Structure 1
Amino acid sequence: MDNTRGQSMKKLKSIWADTDTILIGAGAGLSTSAGFSYTGERFQRYFADFEQRYGFHDMYSGGFYPYETLEEYWAFWSRYIWINRYMDTPESVYQTLHTLVKGKDYFVLTTNVDHCFQKTGFDKNRLFYTQGDYGLFQCSMPCHRSTYENREIVKKMVLAQRFTIGADGTLIFPECGRLVMRVPEELIPCCPRCGRPMTMNLRADDTFVEDEGWQKASDRYVDFLRRHANEKVLLLELGVGFNTPGIVKYSFWRMTAKNKEAVYVCVNLGETCVPKEIEERSVCIDGDIGEILKKLK
């Protein structure tokens, strides 16, 4: 650890010990640190056959590929959902964070849709998943504002591709023979009201469904902000980039500027910055989030 980072860690430890209220803003970098990479070895392990046939080289690109049939589309997406929603992260980054915030008045605002916070044991009433959840389907139109849990249907789609599923949820490849890159037509999820194809409850355009659970989480977040508007609070930004900076990063900057009792902390690998207006009440640490949290613990 270089001297600058060492000084920043010392300052962060002091802030942490003196703070009872924490607002966590989490982005994709947090799950990446926990081992949920959408590229490289993890992509190759689960999608080598899709890469060979369709020519894309990461999960994100595969989500936008124009598959010719819904059977192929759902073969890709069922694998994608299972490994990123129903399997556990390889690293214990979320567990470390959970241990750190126990006993403190915290709330989590996140753009992540992998449900890692709740799976790790964070209080679901202290979580606001602004961009949706891989574990929910919605009507693709949508004809109504409800969402539907998808674990069982996704499991059936994965098994139809000749995977087996371990006791811990891990996908196990067949000992012989190839995977099937399509699902049976009868497993394609359709809206129970209008019959149109279902889709993931992910914010991509104005068809995103903000269901009752989303609305209640939003209300709890607003209430948390109201209760601590002028109090000492740590705004802890973890792994947030500039794809959707308005949800966490820019709002954290504005809140820090408005509340003179607030302190802003940004932890990210290769992407940390802070406006001059709040620089004196900020700490930026460029490094792996998991390693930083371990040192803080």
Structure 2
Amino acid sequence: MKSITPCCNKTTQLKQEIDRADAILVGAGAGLSASAGLTYTGVRFEKYFGDFIKKYNFRDMYSGGFYPFDTLEEYWAYWSRYIYINRYHNAPKNVYGSLLKLLQKKDYFILTTNVDHCFQKAGFDKNRLFYMQGDYGLWQCSKPCHQNTYDNERTVKKMFLEQKDRKIPSKLVPYCPVCGAPMSMNLRADLTFVEDEGWHKAAGRYQDFLSRHRGLHLLYLELGVGVNTPAIIKYPFWKMTFQNPMAVYACINLSAPYCPNEIKKQTICIHDDIGNIINKLLILKETSC
């Protein structure tokens, strides 16, 4: 296996690998958006969901999204706030924009479990993105009776503005245009998740990227990936690194990053804030020009 034994600090190592790699496959998890300021607890949560916290004692946005509300009017009051601030607001920090600068002029692809659309809002080419777990900006039939998804921006913004006492007007509750069942979020929470035409095209582009770079010097750059769904990014990145002696696996995470012993010599693990490391990498990039 190719050895990357440190001769300098890990950030400099990673900068060198970014420069040398034939291509970069980025695997992005929730930690990347958290680094950009899209937190689901604390002050931000309390600012937008204080009334729900008072009534239901929710601890964070995520767990509140699974609560069995009594009415669809209250359900969509909660979810419209959730979608509005996490999908249609810009992230407080420009971490995604900095990542785009870092990847400029590189052959890259993004595989992400994030559903907040931050990559496209930052200017990433949508043809280089695979949102595997869905999109806050899309609805689907809750059954589902068909495999289409629907843009929700206009209605969500009306829900957000017109709700009162934790309820939206009944006229804004969304129903499937085909069978009349209530609509639901296009998020991979259970077996009803709709993989629409756009999803399958993105999946095809991802497989094409892997095929075109098989056996080359590929950098698997994992950013903020946790252990909730390791089979989507983390485990495949480990496996593909192990199968390719030319590959390098890099992981940046505030939770202690790690890797199997089998790929240790091909790995760069950085225990730090993602935005902080990206800024350091950009400084190194500028000083080397």
Bin of the TM-score, shorter chain as denominator length: over 0.9
Partner of 1:104: 106
> Is 1:55 the counterpart of 2:57 in the alignment?
yes
Distance of 2:111 and 2:16 partners within structure 1: 23
**1:83-122 alignment, distance < 5 Å:** 83-122=85-124
Any idea what SS the aligned residue of 2:9 has? helix
Superposed CA offset, 1:48-103 (max 9, x none): 11100111121011101111111000000000000000000000100000001111
The amino acid across from 1:184 in the alignment is P
Q: Counterparts in 2 of 1:141-290, with a 5 A limit? A: 141-161=143-163, 180-290=165-275
Task: Pick one of 20, 23, 36 that aligns with 1:21.
Answer: 23
| Cα distance per residue 1:214-236 (max 9 Å; x no partner) | 00000000000000011111100
CA distance in 2, matches of 1:18, 1:191: 50
Question: How much has 1:271 moved relative to structure 2?
Answer: 2.8
Q: Which secondary structure state, in structure 1, belongs to the residue aligned with residue 176 of structure 2? A: coil
Unpaired runs of 5+ in structure 2? Answer: 1-5, 283-289
Instruction: Quote the offset at 1:13 in angstroms.
Output: 1.6
Question: Which residue of structure 1 lines up, in the alignment, with residue 12 of structure 2?
Answer: 10
Q: Which residue in the other structure is 1:169 paired with?
A: none
Alpha-carbon RMSD: 1.2
Q: TM-score, normalised by structure 2?
A: 0.94
- Runs of 4+ aligned structure 1 residues displaced above 4 Å come to none
3-state secondary structure, aligned to 1:285: strand
- TM-superposed deviation, 1:244: 0.2
How many Å separate the matches in 2 of 1:292 and 1:128? Answer: 24
Name the structure 1 match of 2:279. 294
Q: Post-superposition shift, 1:180?
A: 3.1
Pairing partner for 1:38 from 37, 40, 46 = 40
Pairwise CA distance, 1:150: 0.3
Contact 1:133 1:202 in 2 (8 A): yes
The CA distance in 1 between the partners of 2:13 and 2:149, in whole Å, is: 43
Q: Which runs of 5+ in 1 are unaligned?
A: 162-178
Greater CA deviation, 19-28 or 244-253? 19-28
Is 1:201–1:208's contact at 8 Å kept on the other side of the alignment?
Answer: yes
What is the alpha-carbon distance in structure 2 between the residues aligned to residue 108 and residue 271 of structure 1?
Answer: 23
* Structure 2 counterpart of 1:135, one-letter code: G
Indicate conservation of the 8 Å contact 2:22/2:216, yes or no. no
After superposition, the C-alpha distances for 1:153-185 in whole angstroms (9 at most, x for unaligned) are 101101102xxxxxxxxxxxxxxxxx5310011
CA distance in 2, matches of 1:260, 1:66: 49
Query: Number of paired residues?
Result: 277
SS class of match (1:29): helix
Question: What secondary structure, in the 3-state scheme, does the structure 2 residue paired with 1:112 have?
Answer: coil
Alpha carbons 1:160, 1:180 under 8 Å: kept? no
Residue 168 of structure 1 aligns with which residue? none
* Bigger RCO of structures 1 and 2 (CA < 8 A, at least 6 apart): 2
Cα separation, 2, equivalents of 1:82 and 1:236: 29
Question: What amino acid does structure 2 have at the position aligned with 1:21?
Answer: A
Secondary structure, aligned partner of 1:153 = helix
